[in-house]
Amino acid sequence: MSARFEIAPPPSGPVPYPRELSIKLLTDMLRIRRLEEKCAELYGAGKIRGFLHLYIGEEAVAAGSLPALAPEDNVVATYREHGHALLRGVSMNAIMAEMFGKREGCSRGRGGSMHLFDAAARFFGGNAIVGGGLPLAVGLALASQMQKRKRVTACYFGEGAVAEGAFHESMNLAQLWHLPVAWFLENNHYAMGTSVERSESQTDFCIKAAAFGMPTLKVDGMDVVAVHEVAKRACAQVRAGEGPVFVEFNTYRFRAHSMFDAELYRDKAEVELWKTRGPIHTFSARLKDQGDLTEEQFLEIDRAVMAEVQRAVDFAEAGAWEPVEHLLKDVYAP
Amino acid sequence: MTITYREALRQGLYDAFEKDERVFLMGEDVGKYGGTYAVSKGMLERYGPERVRDAPLSELAFVGAGIGAAIGGMRPIVEVMTVNFSMLALDQIVNTAAMLRHMSGGQFEAPVVIRMSTGAGRQLAAQHSNTLEAWYAHVPGLKVVAAATIDDAHGMVLAALDDPNPVVIFEYPALFELRGDVVHPSVDIATAKVMRPGNKVTLVTYGACLHKTLEAAEAVDGEVIDLRVLRPLDMAPVFESVRKTRRAIIVDEGWRSGSIAAEIMARIVEGAFYELDAPLARVCREEVPIPYPKHLEEAALPQVEKIVAAAKELLG
Ligand SMILES: Cc1ncc(C[n+]2csc(CCOP(=O)(O)OP(=O)(O)O)c2C)c(N)n1
């Protein structure tokens, strides 16, 4: 296998949280994992169509970072956003119905997998244009600043977006105007089939952000504890009015880029190696080590999550199709 | 031996690479990934990374670099994954490639070939289902072509490389599994073509809609014209056909307002008004971003039944 990565040992060591928080983090990761495994299955069955980008392997990033946000904060994400929407509080039912294209979906079925939106959760999508969310985040933060609100805008994006002009322009504006944005870079090392080394002259993303004068933090994105700690720090800084903060989460997607991908660009062995760092089993092992979790308890959580997923599938199945007469709705204000 | 539309595209690229060593391919995931739609599969192994260049997600920069390389004497084929992302490169295509010859008083030219896939129909939702051929066809200085057949999928890239102007080639994922023979190994990028003779109504179209239109034509004795070249337009076969059928419908996957269909209608009115026995009609994309669910997406796009219905209405 190509020894391209210095792959750190699996996350380990004591989990410094009350059991309740630990179990929440574990449950959240499992909810994403089981939801998406089901989505992959439903894609095969033809219930979900179009593009479907799975977050499997990267769950610790969403699970650790989203709890650092308050309800009044903003979240901007990409097309790989099922997990972010879910943990931001969009119900699994509404997400699944959206994937089915039913009107009970969180975007009334109009958007599908890549366009989950929820105004109540201040979840601003679901953008399928790489880098498309970054200028939007700048603007949301600008509005907060001008309205003198203590509101953080968290913007998630993949490392592929860093090559876009929109990244550089957005970093500059955010720093220039001292805007309250938490930039959450999910570096999973590949943009479709293009690895970071094959697309970036400077592969250290924090150096790029630092060039704009921004404080940066780098963290193991497979370790939900490390993610949570860093996200809390970053959000506190942003909320305190210290301007934007840039966080790089080092992570890995275990599955194909989308449902059409022969994965010619990476070794199976590399994927297997990263799987040993999988965020769910390493975290549960740590909890077991310190007596916060038994195998029986884990299975119980898993069963509950699976039941939630099944309810979501049933809900989506029972949902209604938007009547064709409504085709032209929501293009302009009513 | 029949080949698929996808294979025809690939064969065209291979032929271009063999013909001129200045030719190279540049775009996102054209090499190691094997091409977004597997069009350039195998090319990296055959021609190496100098000529099959994976570009980062930097549409503005690598399309601009293709334009610059063309000005500098190379013959780049730049692939933009889809027309949706070409919006990020629009400035370079319009403000540089299209205008260079004129604003330099004819001193410079940018013989770049820019390929991109386009169109809806695969439940990819709003941001991945645009059909924006009309935007490009609006711009003087560009040549804009749409490959709707196996011959054109194969031959247009070769013709484009022989053209000293910047050429934008539209390719249709909806047709990638279409099968046929390469009948004409060399094609022009100047003329529209009658694809099916008929007597009752002229059906003008381009791109993936050609195949829906051909099917519809069976039911209404329609004469089908594939525009092939969206800029500069070749209206002669359209006028000739209208003189015979005295009726015309334009089928266009783009939104109705400001569309290719609108332009064709205007030109028929300018050039063949007195040949018409009925008002012109068009079947276009409904003016809505493409919704994700299948039934709504289908309702938003031109379909065989809609074309037949429009024709029957004209025929009274
Ligand atoms: C502007 C633009 N160009 C190309 C694409 C096609 N595309 C979709 S995802 C993707 C890779 C993005 O990689 P990254 O930002 O690292 O995020 P990841 O998919 O790894 O989560 C590409 C090339 C797109 N959606 N938008």
Length of chain A: 334
CB of A281 less than 8 A from some CB of B? no
Q: Is the CB of A175 under 6 A from ligand 1?
A: no
A202-219, pLDDT tens digit by residue?
999 999 999 999 999 999
Buried b (16+ CB within 10 A) or exposed e, A115-131: bbbbeebbbbbbbbbbb
For each of the domains in chain A, give its residue range(s) and CATH number, in order of start: 16-316 (3.40.50.970)
Query: Comparing C-alpha atoms, which of B19, B275, B233, B215 is closest to residue B138?
Result: B233
Residue B69, amino acid: A
Residue A295, amino acid: E
Mean pLDDT, range A42-54, rounded to an integer: 97
Q: What is the pLDDT of residue A2?
A: 43
Cβ <8 Å between A111 and B126: yes
Asked if residue B261 lies in contact with residue B252, where contact means CB atoms within 8 angstroms, the answer is yes
Asked if residue A122 lies in contact with residue A72, where contact means CB atoms within 8 angstroms, the answer is yes
Best of A95, A194, A322 to substitute, by most chain B Cβ atoms within 10 angstroms, is A194
Tell me: pLDDT of A3 over 50.
Answer: no
Q: A191 C-alpha to center of ligand 1: Å?
A: 6
Tell me: pLDDT of A220 over 90.
Answer: yes
* Local mean pLDDT, 10-residue blocks, chain B (316 residues): 95 98 98 92 97 98 98 98 98 98 98 98 98 98 98 98 98 98 97 98 98 98 98 98 98 98 98 97 98 98 98 95
Class of domain B193-315: alpha beta
Q: A133 C-alpha to center of ligand 1: Å?
A: 12
Beta strand spans in B101-186 (E): 113-117, 143-146, 167-171, 179-180
Q: What is the pLDDT of residue A261?
A: 86
Q: What is the pLDDT of residue A262?
A: 86
Tell me: pLDDT of A57 over 60.
Answer: yes
The full DSSP string for A162-226 is GGSHHHHHHHHHHHHTT--EEEEEEE-SEETTEEGGGT-SS--HHHHHHHTT--EEEEETT-HHH
Structure confidence at residue A4 as a pLDDT band (50, 70, 90)? low
Tell me: pLDDT of A83 over 50.
Answer: yes
Containing B204, the helix (H) or strand (E) segment is strand B201-205
The C-alpha atoms of residue B247 and residue B227 are separated, in whole angstroms, by: 17
User: What is B2-181's CATH number, 2.60.120.200, 3.40.50.970, 1.10.1060.10, 1.25.50.10?
Assistant: 3.40.50.970
Per-residue H/E/C for B238-269: HHHHHHHHCCEEEEEEEECCCCHHHHHHHHHH
Q: State which ligand 1 atom lies nearest to the alpha carbon of A188.
A: 20
Tell me: pLDDT of A302 over 90.
Answer: yes
Q: Supply A244's token pair.
A: 């934007």
User: Which SS3 state, helix, strand or coil, does residue B31 take?
Assistant: coil
Q: Is the CB of A161 under 6 A from ligand 1?
A: yes
Phi first, then psi: give them for residue B81, nearest 5 degrees: -45, -55
Cβ <8 Å between A200 and B56: yes
Peptide bond into A244 cis (omega under 30): no
Containing B7, the helix (H) or strand (E) segment is helix B5-19
Write down the pTM of the prediction.
0.97
The C-alpha atoms of residue A117 and residue A106 are separated, in whole angstroms, by: 6
Containing A75, the helix (H) or strand (E) segment is strand A74-78
Q: Supply B269's token pair.
A: 């009115």
Cβ <8 Å between A128 and B125: yes
Q: Is A24 exposed, middle or buried (CB count within 10 Å of its CB: 0-12, 13-18, 19+)?
A: middle
Residue of A49, A194, A262 lying closest to B54 (CB–CB): A194
Q: What is the pLDDT of residue B131?
A: 98
**Residue to substitute in B30, B54, B81 for testing ligand 1 pocket (most ligand atoms within 8 angstroms of CB):** B81
Tell me: pLDDT of A176 over 90.
Answer: yes
Contacts of A331 in chain B (CB under 8 A): 287-289
User: Which SS3 state, helix, strand or coil, does residue A240 take?
Assistant: coil
User: Which SS3 state, helix, strand or coil, does residue A79 take?
Assistant: coil
Structural domain boundaries of chain B? 2-181, 193-315
Q: What is the pLDDT of residue B284?
A: 98
Residues ≥6 apart with Cβ < 8 Å to A251: A57, A58, A60, A61, A186, A187, A188, A221, A222
